[in-house]
């Protein structure tokens, strides 16, 4: 008997920030087809090729459904009780001898997309008392977190470009043609770019590669990787020089305008030409266009963050939005106000007295802590270097750092040196093959869906709930897995763990915190009274709380017509509360109560950039990364229908560069950096600017012991073998996986 009745079901795709609405057809207990949902209030029928493969992911014969425990070097299937007993037995000697300090966790990207993980990762961190925390964040948005912390007072107070209403959009280091938008949640981003042009506006894309996004833009501006901060400072320079700074409604709400004026003195357009390879006249023109447009927004993403001057470049995006008076303004950059708030919006008690960095340093390299983390590239040496404080135990949660971290091969060599490793993951892959215990979560279709984090930078104030489609039976959701692991880390015996009781403890703390939080929508209420109105433990109860205490919530009876989860459930196509509006006063949490345009910590990095202006531009090639719409970081290459067509793991190179090196299209080249070397087929294309080559990230599926039948047939190579772990953006510690100096020759 099929467990699900034949029919068509409404769902939200959990794979990326576009959060598209889907219609899933089920026959005989299997997904037979997935189409876009035209009635979805948010995505209105938009979808990309990945949205159609959720069935393939769910039915993937390689997806792990039963816990695996390693015995004598080989995995065997185990019961959940056995698996947790193994976790406790494996961690016990480490905890007894060296304490919790010797156990680290690595938190991967899907945590942000998974219904249960996103709502229980805070509980896991708090209850386990783990403090050695690594994450994909330090190869991603750490510079943005840093600049938002200092400028606006919240590391996740990230303004989103209002692409639906702007007239002028300056895009740097983002390729929504592949990514579908990042720190910018919007379905059909490129459709918005087209619409901007159709209404007479302009879209300018700054990128060393003429990406698919450029086909939807008015102009492509090629730039030398890593030099965007100089370009943006030169734009600021022109704004000051030509009296084009107009704060508009921000007048009186901003500190540090003069300091920015001083900072960009040395960066006249002519002074940055050689470094950026962008002509001074182009820079002046962009500055004039940006400041004359009625409504304009600057938007930067991974190409800005994952580079040597990630913090400066990321900071300057919002500096320009302020100097042109477009921050917190319709058609500029605005903060969303989602139906269900996210945990990341809660005040962080660690920084109650303001943000402090470098509070401690990593043991081996001495890398300073920033926002509670050191670069993920430190993890390999922290495991491999003997001595007091060595990382002996590791818990990975939905992450594949053996491919995604810079210096990936070093980590791959270090992981077997751990005394014990646990992975919470749905596949046996390059990372999890090293685990001693693999604890699988549910598939996205075996659990409800409602994005926890991503609505925080959505282009509309909205929300969407999807119930589970397939019954997971007795298998625990990842919240229960994490709570069990937290208890084990605190010394509990697995047989004695009651995850509902732990859930209750976490939830009660959350409610109590909200009742005491000034300005919260249940401030001053009795926590017991609130909890009595909530349902059973689980991620849905947390979501219900997030909705009911959100801007449109029922405030537990205070606003009887307000929203609650029950009401969301009656609207499977989502609820839309309209376009974004100004809310700076609500968002701003700096100590000064103003936007801090020139935080000293950020300005301190300027001399490092200024030095580059007078240095001779480096010779040789630099490597950047790319994404493809049919991949998702490292973990969707096992989906047969996404793997058809020509090889995608190629080294993109300009025709003149290829002919100078005597390389032919489709033939192998050897690419070397200071830390590694790879052989990879060349793909010649004039979409690359000369001197820059590009490899996709997330490949290299040829490792023994992984169980990825489809991916291993076309493994590709891991570009992070070439990424030196010490090549970082200094203020944030974020990895510079773009702009890596490389040498290239025949393969």
Ligand X SMILES: Nc1nc2c(c(=O)[nH]1)N[C@H]1C(S)=C(S)[C@@H](COP(=O)(O)OP(=O)(O)OC[C@H]3O[C@@H](n4cnc5c(=O)[nH]c(N)nc54)[C@H](O)[C@@H]3O)O[C@H]1N2
Task: Return residues touching ligand X (CB under 6 A).
Answer: 16, 108-110, 114, 136, 139-140, 172-176, 178-180, 182, 206-209, 211, 223, 225-226, 228, 301-303, 306-307, 398-401, 404, 424-427, 429, 431, 441, 478, 624-627, 629, 631-635, 694, 697-698, 719-720, 723, 737-739
Q: How far is the CB of 640 from ligand SF4 (least distance, A)?
A: 17
Q: How far is the CB of 178 from ligand X (least distance, A)?
A: 4
Query: Which residue in this structure is represented by tokens 């202006």?
Result: 613
Cβ atoms 355, 149 nearer than 8 A: yes
Q: Does 34 bind ligand SF4 (CB under 6 A)?
A: no
Considering the complex, state which of residue 19 and residue 442 has its C-beta at the smaller distance from ligand SF4: 19
Q: How far is the CB of 431 from ligand SF4 (least distance, A)?
A: 22
Q: How far is the CB of 349 from ligand X (least distance, A)?
A: 26
DSSP 300-362: E-HHHHSSTTHHHHHHHHHHHHHHTT-BTSTTSEE----SS--GGGS--GGGTT-----SSB-
Beta strands 595-596; 651-653: pairing state: unpaired
The tokens for 692 are 């820059």
Q: Does 51 bind ligand SF4 (CB under 6 A)?
A: yes
DSSP 497-564: --HHHHHHHHHHHHHHHHHHSTT-TTTT--HHHHHHTS-SSSHHHHHHHHHHTSTTB-GGGTSTTSB-
Query: Which residue in this structure is represented by tokens 């060393």?
Result: 208
Considering the complex, state which of residue 202 and residue 434 has its C-beta at the smaller distance from ligand X: 434
Q: Look at residue 37 and give the partner it binds from ligand SF4, Mo ion, ligand X, none, a contact being a CB closer than 5 to 8 Å depending on partner kind.
A: none
Q: Does 140 bind Mo ion (CB under 5 A)?
A: yes
Cβ atoms 79, 67 nearer than 8 A: yes
Q: Look at residue 115 and give the partner it binds from ligand X, Mo ion, ligand SF4, none, a contact being a CB closer than 5 to 8 Å depending on partner kind.
A: none
Q: Look at residue 206 and give the partner it binds from ligand SF4, Mo ion, ligand X, none, a contact being a CB closer than 5 to 8 Å depending on partner kind.
A: ligand X
Considering the complex, state which of residue 113 and residue 564 has its C-beta at the smaller distance from ligand SF4: 113
Considering the complex, state which of residue 60 and residue 140 has its C-beta at the smaller distance from Mo ion: 140
Q: Look at residue 738 and give the partner it binds from ligand SF4, Mo ion, ligand X, none, a contact being a CB closer than 5 to 8 Å depending on partner kind.
A: ligand X
Rounded (10°) angle between helices 80-98 and 478-489? 30
For 268-285, letters b (16+ CB in 10 Å) and e give bbebbbbbbbbebebbbe
Q: Does 50 bind ligand SF4 (CB under 6 A)?
A: yes
248: three-class secondary structure by DSSP: helix
Q: Does 16 bind ligand SF4 (CB under 6 A)?
A: yes
Q: Does 177 bind ligand SF4 (CB under 6 A)?
A: no
Q: How far is the CB of 511 from ligand SF4 (least distance, A)?
A: 32
Considering the complex, state which of residue 45 and residue 747 has its C-beta at the smaller distance from ligand SF4: 45
Q: Look at residue 580 and give the partner it binds from ligand X, Mo ion, ligand SF4, none, a contact being a CB closer than 5 to 8 Å depending on partner kind.
A: none
Q: How many CB atoms lie within 10 A of CB 581?
A: 13
Considering the complex, state which of residue 320 and residue 453 has its C-beta at the smaller distance from Mo ion: 453
Q: Does 307 bind ligand SF4 (CB under 6 A)?
A: no
Cβ atoms 133, 121 nearer than 8 A: no
Distance between CA atoms of residues 186 and 174, nearest Å: 14
Closest by CA position to 391, among listed 131, 138, 140: 131
Q: How many CB atoms lie within 10 A of CB 629?
A: 17
Considering the complex, state which of residue 174 and residue 418 has its C-beta at the smaller distance from Mo ion: 174
Report the residue count for the chain. Answer: 747
Q: Does 180 bind ligand SF4 (CB under 6 A)?
A: yes
Query: Which residue in this structure is represented by tokens 């998974």?
Result: 114
Considering the complex, state which of residue 423 and residue 632 has its C-beta at the smaller distance from Mo ion: 632
Distance between CA atoms of residues 279 and 270, nearest Å: 8
Measured in degrees and rounded to the nearest 5, phi and psi for residue 716 equal 65, -175
C-alpha distances (whole Å) from 75 to each of 151, 551, 712 are 49, 48, 19
Residue nearest to ligand X (CB): 303
Q: Does 412 bind Mo ion (CB under 5 A)?
A: no
Considering the complex, state which of residue 47 and residue 623 has its C-beta at the smaller distance from ligand SF4: 47
Q: How far is the CB of 136 from Mo ion (least distance, A)?
A: 6
- Interacting stretch for ligand SF4, rule CB under 6 A, among 13-21, 557-565, 664-672, 684-692? 13-21
Q: How far is the CB of 371 from ligand X (least distance, A)?
A: 16
Q: Does 436 bind Mo ion (CB under 5 A)?
A: no
Q: From the DSSP assignment, how many helices (H) and strands (E) are in the chain?
A: 24, 26
Considering the complex, state which of residue 79 and residue 641 has its C-beta at the smaller distance from ligand SF4: 641
Distance between CA atoms of residues 650 and 656, nearest Å: 17
Residues that bind ligand SF4 (CB under 6 A): 13, 15-16, 18-20, 47-48, 50-51, 180
Residues that bind Mo ion (CB under 5 A): 140
């Amino acid at each position: 008997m099929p467990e699900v009745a034949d029919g068509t079901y409404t769902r939200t795709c959990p794979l990326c920030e576009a959060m598209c609405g889907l219609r899933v057809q089920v026959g005989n207990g299997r997904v037979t087809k997935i189409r876009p949902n035209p009635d979805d209030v948010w995505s209105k029928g938009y979808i990309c090729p990945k949205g159609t493969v959720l069935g393939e992911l769910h039915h993937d014969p390689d997806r792990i459904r039963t816990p695996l425990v390693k015995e004598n070097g080989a995995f065997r299937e185990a019961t959940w009780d056995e698996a947790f007993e193994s976790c406790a037995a494996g961690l016990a000697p480490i905890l007894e001898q060296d304490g919790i300090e010797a156990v680290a966790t690595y938190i991967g990207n899907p945590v942000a997309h998974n219904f249960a993980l996103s709502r229980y990762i805070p509980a896991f961190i708090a209850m386990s008392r783990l403090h050695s925390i690594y994450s994909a964040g330090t190869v991603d948005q750490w510079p943005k977190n840093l600049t938002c912390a200092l400028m606006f007072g919240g590391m996740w107070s990230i303004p989103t470009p209002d692409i639906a209403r702007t007239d002028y959009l300056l895009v740097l280091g983002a390729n929504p043609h592949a990514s579908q938008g990042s720190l910018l949640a919007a379905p059909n981003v490129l459709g918005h770019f087209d619409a901007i042009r159709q209404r007479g506006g302009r879209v300018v894309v700054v990128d060393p590669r003429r990406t698919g996004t450029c086909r939807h833009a008015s102009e492509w501006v090629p730039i030398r990787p890593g030099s965007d901060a100089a370009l943006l400072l030169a734009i600021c320079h022109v704004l000051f020089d030509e009296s084009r700074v107009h704060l508009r409604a921000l007048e009186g709400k901003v500190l540090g305008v003069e300091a920015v004026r001083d900072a960009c003195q040395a960066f006249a357009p002519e002074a940055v030409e050689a470094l950026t390879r962008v002509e001074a006249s182009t820079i002046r023109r962009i500055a004039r266009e940006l400041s004359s447009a009625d409504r304009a927004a600057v938007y930067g993403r991974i190409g800005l963050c994952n580079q040597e001057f990630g913090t400066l470049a990321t900071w300057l995006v919002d500096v320009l939005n302020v100097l042109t008076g477009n921050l917190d303004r319709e058609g500029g950059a605005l903060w969303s106000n989602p139906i269900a708030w996210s945990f990341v919006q809660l005040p962080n008690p660690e920084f109650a007295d303001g943000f402090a960095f470098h509070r401690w340093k990593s043991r081996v390299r001495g890398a300073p802590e920033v926002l509670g983390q050191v670069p993920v590239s430190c993890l390999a040496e922290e495991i491999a270097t003997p001595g007091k404080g060595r990382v002996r135990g590791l818990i990975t949660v939905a992450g594949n750092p053996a491919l995604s971290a810079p210096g990936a091969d070093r980590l791959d060599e270090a992981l077997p040196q751990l005394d014990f490793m646990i992975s919470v993951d749905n596949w046996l892959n390059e990372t999890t093959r090293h685990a001693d215990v693999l604890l699988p979560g549910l598939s996205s279709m075996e659990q409800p869906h409602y994005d926890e984090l991503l609505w925080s930078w959505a282009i509309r104030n909205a929300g969407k709930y999807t119930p589970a489609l397939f019954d997971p039976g007795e298998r625990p959701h990842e919240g229960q897995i994490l709570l069990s692991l937290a208890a084990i880390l605190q010394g509990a015996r697995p047989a004695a763990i009651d995850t509902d009781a732990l859930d209750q403890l976490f939830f009660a703390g959350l409610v109590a915190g909200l009742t005491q939080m000034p300005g919260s929508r249940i401030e001053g209420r009795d926590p017991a009274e609130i909890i009595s109105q909530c349902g059973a433990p689980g991620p849905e109860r947390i979501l219900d709380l997030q909705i009911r205490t959100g801007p449109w919530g029922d405030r537990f009876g205070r606003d009887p017509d307000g929203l609650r989860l029950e009401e969301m459930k009656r609207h499977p196509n989502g609820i839309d509360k309209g376009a974004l509006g100004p809310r700076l006063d609500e968002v701003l949490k700096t100590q000064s109560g103003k936007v801090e345009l020139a935080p000293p910590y950020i300005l301190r990095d300027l001399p490092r950039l200024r030095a580059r202006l007078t240095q001779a531009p480096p010779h040789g090639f630099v490597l950047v990364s790319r994404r493809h719409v049919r991949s998702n970081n490292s973990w969707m290459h096992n989906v047969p229908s996404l793997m058809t067509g020509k090889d995608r793991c190629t080294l993109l190179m300009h025709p003149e560069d290829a002919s100078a090196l005597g390389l032919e299209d489709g033939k192998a080249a050897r690419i070397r950096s200071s830390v590694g070397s790879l052989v990879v087929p060349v793909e010649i294309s004039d979409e690359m600017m000369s001197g820059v080559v590009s490899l996709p990230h997330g490949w290299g599926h040829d490792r023994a012991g992984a169980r990825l039948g489809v991916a291993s047939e076309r493994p590709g190579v891991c570009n992070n073998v070439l990424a030196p772990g010490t090549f970082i953006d200094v203020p944030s510690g974020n990895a510079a996986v773009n702009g890596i100096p490389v040498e290239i020759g025949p393969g």
